[in-house]
Amino acid sequence: MIEIKELTKSYKGVEVVNIPEMSIAKGESFGLVGNNGAGKTTFYRMILDLIRPTHGTVLSKGIDVRTTEEWKFYTGSFLDESFLIDYLTPDEYFEFVGSLHNYSPGDMKEFLGQFEVLFNGEITGKKKYIRDLSKGNQKKVGIAAALMGSPEVILLDEPFANLDPTTQIRLKDLLRDLKEKYQLTMLISSHDLNHVTEVCERIVLLEKGEVKQDIKTSASTLKDLEEYFATY
């Protein structure tokens, strides 16, 4: 699904990402962990062609993401609040994003119905601008919009941050359900080791832009990661 080849990124001569090779298979749930400054967000931004690598290539279904926008039609993402149009209400924003996918009012109602539990009555129908929502509720809007159009792959950066424990559990359940239902390829970065090991079947540990561990999630993964970061 996604292939990384000799990917590097440097700023002012300082290398912040160096990943010689990596493949993420279709339908895989991929978790990226690391401390602040590890290069997680930079890596995701290169996958989305938001920033260009210093060297190397990102391929999505065999397509170099720098050469065409075809991959954008099957890729959803939410990295931060800058992805939102914050002077709109959530309803207006969903209507706008839905129009890009030719959603009818019926399609939109059916789609948003999947998020009723996650939204918890706080998002739609409130006539409140996105900029006036809490960080957690802004995140709910962004994640829902990223899943519009039935993408084949989705990238989420810190999706569990700023959410209360109940919402975190609901989001984990939703992501697992969508992955199983649609064979969704999920790339999730998170500082929360507990959440990412629960949702993702593969964990990559990034340190100073380099892959230090690439492991299949097992019963011992959380403990192993906690021990690694405790001695970092």
Give the Cα separation of 145 and 112 in Å (integer).
9
Q: Where are the domains of the chain?
A: 2-230
- The share of the chain scoring above pLDDT 70, in percent, equals 100
68-90: per-residue pLDDT in tens? 999 999 999 998 888 899 999 99
Does residue 230 register a pLDDT over 80?
Answer: yes
12-68: per-residue pLDDT in tens? 888 999 999 999 999 999 999 999 888 999 999 999 999 999 999 999 999 999 999
pLDDT at residue 150, as a whole number: 87
Q: Are 30 and 46 in contact (CB under 8 A)?
A: no
pLDDT at residue 13, as a whole number: 85
Single-letter code of the amino acid located at 225 = L
Fold of 2-230: Rossmann fold (3.40.50)
Does residue 232 register a pLDDT over 80?
Answer: no
pTM of the model: 0.90
Give the Cα separation of 232 and 56 in Å (integer).
29
Give the Cα separation of 195 and 169 in Å (integer).
9
Single-letter code of the amino acid located at 75 = T
Over residues 3-15, mean pLDDT: 93
- Cβ neighbors of 124 (< 8 A, separation 6 or more) are 90, 91, 94, 112
Give the Cα separation of 1 and 155 in Å (integer).
13
Give the Cα separation of 140 and 166 in Å (integer).
13
